[in-house]
Amino acid sequence: MQGKKDYQEKLFIRFQLSDYVPQDNFYRQLKGILNFNFLYASTAKYYGSEGQKSIDPVVFMKLMLVGYLEDLNSDRRIIATSRMRMDILYFIGMI
């Protein structure tokens, strides 16, 4: 009899991205070196107090850096590449 795997997403998953990004990965090492926290104070005057929250300025800067390092020439390509790469997701702190 032929078997068939029925995939069902689990409601609760224990997953840590840092367990799957190797210690010698470029973006993992870059995350340990770079500190963009100064951007919060530098960009605070450009944000209002009302309306929808914007993208985190640190995440935005990291995405622009990824675009430069990966030679990606559009925002859509940066996002598409970042969604598929666990090391980049770890670097920008999305998971």
51 vs 36, residue with greater confidence: 36
DSSP state, residue 45: G
- Tell me the pLDDT band of 3, cut-offs 50, 70 and 90: very low
CA-only gyration radius of the chain, Å? 18
* H-assigned helices in the chain: 26-33, 38-43, 57-69, 75-84, 86-92
pLDDT digits (tens, 9 = 90+) for 43-90: 888 888 888 888 889 999 999 999 999 999 999 999 999 999 999 999
Q: What average pLDDT does the segment 17-35 reach?
A: 92
Distance CA 59, CA 72 (A): 16
Residue of 32, 8, 5 lying closest to 18 (CA atoms):
32
For the chain, the structural domain boundaries read 36-47+55-95
User: pTM for the complete prediction?
Assistant: 0.80
